[in-house]
Amino acid sequence: MQSILIILLCIGSAICYGIVHDQITARICVEYFTIGHPPVFGTDSPTLLGLGWGVIATWWVGLILGVPLALTARLGERPKRTAAWLVRPIAMLLLVMACCAMLAGLIGYILARNRVVFLLGPLAAAIPSEKHVPFLVDLWAHNASYLAGFVGGIVLAVFTWKSRGIATDGWPTT
């Protein structure tokens, strides 16, 4: 049962992060969702797009994190970790992801404003020129979130496995 709770915790956490993240980025550049993504919702509302894409684009990330995390927390004879034990480390991962997204968005902004990075081809033609920089801010922020989540998920799984060598406070010795 704890393994299922861990997976559900990861999926729920990813969705909550995705919704908050997309509420912000949809307000930076709604075209990131209306032009840069397939038309799934038929709306230009940043709120509705943030909610919809916040779920669609993240539930599977939570599943991909949740399964290995459940395995590293529960398999074997070592002391097991519960979903409740993982709340704080998952919250820390989400905080790191948010910081990486903000930093990457800022870097994307600086690079786009200085024409170091820019849109090309059909995407550049479809997006109004005054929205190119905000679009790239969103792109950089989203890519950073995914990358930080992927790397951080691996770190979290390793940390969880190592922490099981200690039955007292849960922090690994190595």
Q: Is 55 a residue whose pLDDT tops 60?
A: yes
Of 136, 137, 155, nearest to 147 by C-alpha is: 155
Mean pLDDT of the region 57-72: 98
Q: Is 169 a residue whose pLDDT tops 70?
A: no
* Integer Cα distance of 138 and 25 in angstroms: 6
Domain coordinates in residue numbering, the chain: 2-163
How much is the pLDDT for 174? 45
Which run of H or of E encompasses 23? helix 2-28
Query: 115-138: per-residue pLDDT in tens?
Result: 999 999 999 999 999 999 999 999
Query: 16-40: per-residue pLDDT in tens?
Result: 999 999 999 999 999 999 999 999 9
